[in-house]
């Protein structure tokens, strides 16, 4: 029995795609061969679901240096900070403080958990930068480490050092792997393993009419939706502005914005709702917040939108929409083109391009037959390429290889 300790370092009070991906992997893994355990850096709403799977959860507290301070209020501070040597010195000082205050204490705490849990392999769910302390813990305990890279991160000497102490680096898409290699990230083993969604989990339990009645959308009205944590880079404002244009040709259209608000995104979330009111979209755009029944909500949507204004590493919500048979409109950047083939399994638009998104929404809403055909093709393609069985098989081989080498 191989004991796999998953480490999820995300913070901000929200449930993101990283932890959701690990949850689906745990759901599919062979419990006769593997014993999964989980480390969280803050309480998460998914802990109840993990408990139902008999997955022990350990909490590790990691102090975090404040990102805001009094000096930021003064223009003189920003002028001085723009001077090259001073900016470099301040950056190095902060990195040193981060190492001493945040990462080294967390590494020792993690090492205690690793030894107490008798972990055979570590699976770090948040890449090299956010999981630097866990890489240190793996070195301290001589535990083989699998790092799951799920974003286009900033890399420096720290991350390059961490990559050399990583047994396997798993990248969600080829775009991420190429990005890492271009920046000198060189683990012993690096490969692409596409994420997956458990079909048994992605099963609507309520009727579309009941969900729509609850959120205030008429059963016959066209309905567009976006799901994901409320953060500016996720581009919810792009969809709001596009809906103002769509309303001219489809005045009955509604829009659902689903997702919890990240601690750093509170001001953005408030401004987003205010902007919707300014555009006269009251009663047409519905902010639903975090939902445990997100599958039922997405199933009640006619068109799923992904609107990230920065390159999206993967886009789990895209895959979920496809598996539900929905036409998906997504931004053409990052790893997204590896998931969607334009006009066949979905639609691609440039990031941040409001007119392009509005025009695509108009086309899809105006031709429901075509939209259903694209959604059906997307579901077939997603089940073939992004099956949970394939994902679990590839990750299981990685764990076994790492532990076999250690032994």
CATH code (residue 332): 3.40.50.2000
Q: Would you say residue 51 has pLDDT above 90? A: yes
| Same domain (yes/no): 182, 249 | no
DSSP three-state, residue 45: coil
Tell which wins on pLDDT, 83 or 177.
Answer: 177
Q: Which residues pair with 191 in a beta bridge?
A: 170
d(Cα 336, Cα 25) in Å, to the nearest integer?
Answer: 21
Q: Residue 3's pLDDT is what?
A: 97
Mean of pLDDT values over 312-326: 91
From 315, 324, 338, select the one nearest 227 (Cα to Cα): 315
pLDDT for 34 beyond 60: yes
Q: What is the pLDDT of residues 20-31, one digit of tens each?
A: 889 999 999 999
Question: To the nearest 10°, the Cα dihedral for 138, 140, 141, 144?
Answer: 30
| pLDDT in the model for residue 384 | 86
What is the average pLDDT across 40-66? 88
Q: What Cα–Cα distance (Å) separates residue 212 from each residue in 221, 280, 303, 343, 368?
A: 10, 21, 14, 28, 19
- C-alpha 303/C-alpha 23 separation (Å) is 26
Taking every pair of Cα atoms in the chain, the longest distance, rounded to a whole number of angstroms, is 66
Q: How many CB atoms lie within 10 A of CB 340?
A: 25
C-alpha closest to that of 50 among 20, 23, 28 = 23
CA 215 to CA 281: how far, in whole Å?
15
Same domain? 167 vs 142:
yes
Is 70 a residue whose pLDDT tops 90? no
- In the structure, what pLDDT confidence band is assigned to residue 76 with cuts at 50, 70 and 90? low
pLDDT digits 0-9 by tens, 152-191: 988 989 999 999 999 999 999 999 999 999 999 989 899 9
Most confident of 92-101, 187-196, 322-331, 381-390: 322-331
Same domain, 191 and 287: no
pLDDT mean across residues, the chain: 90
Q: Does 144 lie in the same domain as 241?
A: no
Q: How many of the other CB atoms lie within 10 Å of CB of 185?
A: 24
- 343 or 404: whose pLDDT is higher? 343
pLDDT of residue 68: 61
- Considering the domain architecture, whether residues 218 and 189 belong to the same structural domain is answered as no
Same domain, 235 and 255: yes
Structure confidence at residue 56 (pLDDT): 95
DSSP state, 25?
Answer: H
- Quick check: is 281 in a domain? yes
Percent of residues, the chain, with pLDDT higher than 70: 91
106 is in which domain, residue-wise?
2-196+387-406
Query: 366-387 burial, b for 16+ CB within 10 Å, e for fewer?
Result: eeeeebeebbebbbebbeeebb
Domain-located, residue 141: yes
Task: Answer whether residue 203 is part of any domain.
Answer: no
Does 354 share its domain with 395?
no
To 10 degrees, what angle do helices 236-249 and 266-278 make?
10
Q: Is there a contact between 261 and 12 (Cβ–Cβ < 8 Å)?
A: no
Distance CA 27, CA 268 (A): 34
Per-residue pLDDT for 71 more than 60?
A: no
Span 86-107, average pLDDT = 74
User: Which residue(s) pair with 2 in the sheet?
Assistant: 34
Cβ atoms of 276 and 185 within 8 Å: the answer is: no
- Is residue 263 one of the residues assigned to a domain? yes
Cα(121)–Cα(51) distance, integer angstroms: 21
The pLDDT assigned to 198 comes to 82
* 188 and 289 assigned to the same domain: no
Residue 202 lies in a domain: no
Are 320 and 254 part of one and the same domain? yes
- Find the helix or strand (DSSP H, E) in which 174 lies: helix 174-182
- Judge if 220 and 188 occupy the same domain: no
User: What's 118's DSSP letter?
Assistant: T
How many domains, the chain?
Answer: 2
Do the domain assignments include residue 378? yes
pLDDT band for position 405 (cuts 50, 70, 90): confident
Please, which pLDDT band fits residue 64 given cuts at 50, 70 and 90?
A: confident
Picking from 53-57, 63-67, 139-143, 226-230, which range would have the lowest pLDDT averaged per residue? Answer: 63-67
For residues 367 and 307, membership in a common domain is answered with: yes
Give kind and range of the element (H or E) at residue 192.
strand 190-192
Q: Is pLDDT larger for residue 45 or for residue 192?
A: 192
Per-residue pLDDT tens over the stretch 225-259: 999 889 999 999 999 999 999 999 999 999 999 99
278 found inside a domain: yes
Indicate the range of 261-270, 276-285, 382-391 predicted with least confidence: 261-270
Same domain, 170 and 224: no
> Quick check: 223 pLDDT over 80?
yes
DSSP string, 279-348: TT-TTTEEEEES-TTHHHHHHT-SEEE---SS--S--HHHHHHHHTT--EEEESSTTGGGT--BTTTBEE
More confident residue, 367 or 21: 367
Domain assignment of residue 40, yes or no: yes
Instruction: Give the confidence band of 92 by pLDDT, cuts at 50, 70, 90.
Output: low
Q: pLDDT tens across 131-149, in order? A: 999 999 999 999 999 999 9
């Amino acid at each position: 029995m191989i004991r796999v300790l998953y480490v999820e370092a995300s913070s901000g009070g929200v449930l993101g795609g990283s932890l959701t991906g690990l949850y689906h992997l745990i759901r599919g893994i062979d419990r006769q061969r593997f014993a999964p355990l989980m480390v969280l850096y803050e309480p998460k709403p998914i802990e109840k679901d993990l408990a139902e799977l008999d997955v022990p959860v350990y909490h590790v507290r990691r102090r975090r240096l404040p990102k805001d301070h009094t000096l930021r209020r003064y223009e003189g501070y920003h002028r001085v900070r723009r001077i090259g040597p001073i900016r470099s010195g301040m950056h190095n000082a902060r990195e040193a403080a981060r190492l001493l205050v945040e990462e080294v204490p967390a590494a020792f705490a993690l090492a205690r958990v690793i030894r107490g849990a008798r972990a055979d392999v570590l699976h770090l769910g948040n890449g090299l930068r956010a999981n630097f302390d866990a890489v240190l813990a793996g070195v301290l305990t001589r535990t083989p480490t699998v790092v799951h890279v799920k974003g286009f991160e900033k890399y420096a000497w720290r991350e390059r050092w961490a990559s050399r102490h990583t047994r396997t680096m798993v990248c969600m898409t080829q775009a991420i792997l190429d990005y890492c290699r271009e920046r000198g990230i060189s683990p012993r083993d690096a490969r692409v393993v596409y994420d997956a969604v458990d079909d048994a989990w992605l099963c609507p339990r309520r009727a579309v009419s009941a969900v729509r009645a609850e959120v205030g959308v008429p059963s016959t009205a066209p309905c567009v939706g976006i799901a994901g944590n409320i953060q500016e880079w996720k581009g919810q404002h792009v969809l709001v502005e596009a809906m103002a244009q769509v309303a001219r040709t489809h005045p009955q259209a509604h829009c659902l914005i689903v997702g919890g608000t990240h601690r750093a995104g509170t001001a953005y979330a408030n401004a987003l709702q205010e902007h919707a009111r300014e555009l006269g979209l009251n009663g047409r755009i519905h902010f639903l917040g975090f939902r445990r029944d997100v599958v039922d909500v997405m199933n009640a949507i006619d068109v799923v939108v992904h609107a990230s204004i920065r390159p999206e590493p993967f886009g789990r919500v895209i895959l979920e929409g496809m598996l539900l048979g929905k036409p998906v409109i997504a931004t053409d950047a990052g790893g997204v083109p590896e998931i969607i083939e334009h006009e066949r399994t979905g639609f691609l638009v440039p990031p941040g391009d409001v007119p392009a998104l509005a025009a695509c929404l108009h086309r899809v809403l105006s031709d429901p037959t075509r939209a259903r055909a694209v959604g059906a093709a997307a579901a077939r393609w997603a089940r073939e390429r992004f099956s949970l069985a394939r994902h679990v098989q590839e990750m299981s081989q990685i764990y076994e290889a790492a532990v076999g080498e250690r032994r």
